[in-house]
Chains A and B, each alone.
Chain A
Amino acid sequence: MKTKQLGNSDLFITPVRFGASAIGSSAWEQSAAAIHHALELLARISQGAVTVLAVILVAVIAWFDYVTGDFSLAVFYLVPVVLATWYAGRVSGWFIGVLSAAAWLVGDPALSRAYGHPLMPYWNAAMLALTYGIVAYLLSTLHRLQAELQERVDRRTASLAEVHHRVKNNLQIISSLLMLQAEKLSNAADKAVFDECRDRVYSMARLHEQLYSSGEFSDLDFATHLREMAEMLVRSHTAQGCILAVDVRADPVAVDLDTGVTLGLIANELLLNALKHGFAGRPAGKLTVELHGGNRNEMIVRDDGRGLPTGFDATKNAGLGVELVLGMTRQIRGEARIENDSAGGTRATIFFPSLLPLETVKTEPQSKPTYHD
């Protein structure tokens, strides 16, 4: 879920969503939006104009106070006090506080009646002024703290963005070095190893890109990454002369950065494996990639190729790619199944836990991978 960063002038009032069943929820939303819009307008006008508006508001409340007689409206003077303090500063808040107390004194019809002591109404007005002054002081302090906090958050966000930028630049350097080193090799198979390494670096970089672009810096939708990666690998690794049909069906699945990087590398290995071994020497083929969410997420990479060799044992005679897949799946507390598909070809399924609070994830038992020939 994307969250809106509060600006310094957002006060406490933001549009609040109530359940759809709440009575007049749309009216509520409209009112909240109108208030929000009004507050945004207030934030844009000058401090002097806000103070003038607060003075007018005090006059209106004083008039109501006068016409309603004995009913106390003292609490309503807090509205102009709060607005003046938040949008025009502490001094303006104090001024409106004193003005409100004076207006209350003038507007209170009890003034014309006999008090137990002639100074009592003035004492009461002074107490009101003090109360408004304290409110203005506390609110202006809160406003200052909020502004400081916002500034810190902005600085951290900028630093984090810079870190992501540095990470991507460094990944570019690694990718460049791999390319330059690969040039020195004459054997095509050796070069292919370096190309695979570059693909892995590329996968990690794209994930950082997605995280950085989303502005969330913590969670991301793995479906977007999976689609992009499948497209990129198919474009660059499809066997020559093979017409490949690619079907990617990916539901949105939220993952954190660590899981995303590991899962991205797993997907990279599975896709490369399918592209390298599933379609070699064939005129056409089909590659299916699926991602499904739920209590336990599921990623499937399936080809319609020759399938696994007889007696295949992922734990014994598999290559580096499968070894990495098994290790990384354990790392994300998942389960890997690499098996022959009933419709022909190879099917690799990675089950992995849904994004949960860290404490919950830590207490989950580790599941061991299972392999099926």
Chain B
Amino acid sequence: MSARSLDPHREVLREVGQGLALPLPHRVRILRELSYDLESLTDLLVGQGISAEEAHRRAAEALVPDRAALDQLGRLHESWYRRRTRAVTPDRLRLVERGALALATATVLAVEGLALRRVNLFGDPSPFLVPVLVAGAVLSALVLGKAFELFIKGDHARPRTGLTTILAVAGATLALGVGGTVFDLYHLAGTLERTPALAGVLTPLWLGRSAVLMVVALILSMAGALGWFVLSHWVSLAEGAHREVLGLPHPSRLPRRSDHVEAVE
């Protein structure tokens, strides 16, 4: 049996991975390098007549970074942003980051409003247009915040956190647009039931309002969904590489709870 087929280094790599508070791509590169060296050195020692177990032990002793070495690697590969903000206390940094996120939301909202005003779509808006714009601004802030966390801050402790929220807010933005259009339609129908003579005036107005509301809701929700897709795809790739180097199965290939119960029975 080849020393590699025993694969006892995976456990060691998992421990090293847990000790590296680094962005996933950096973590993967370090673990991949270590994995190759561990396997190669083990093979070399086994080839020299040393038992596989002893070869694994010696290879791990020589190559697996201890706490001090892991700390050094952590400092070397930490993100530019973390280096720059090392002197700032975590509480203060969190406050600044949240302030920046709120500012980004307000800016997006202002830009949305100005853009609609410029093309004169605020003339007779649906009452649902402002909620859709607010949801769109929140959505943009969520996407920007997650992108900042993943690519600038390099905080990959829980990379999937917040992704579902982005998708949910994108869905809510679209739902607000559709719901608003339907609500406006019922409102129009009620008015026309009472005063059918206004049909020629109110119907084109409703069409205009609904078109604006739906277009804005669709654009914002699709942009948010696109942001979600890009971010979650990137996280999937990074997590896949991490799982591969650690020899962990894909979550979809993990045994289901029902399988486990059946096996026990």
Decide whether A and B assemble into one complex: no
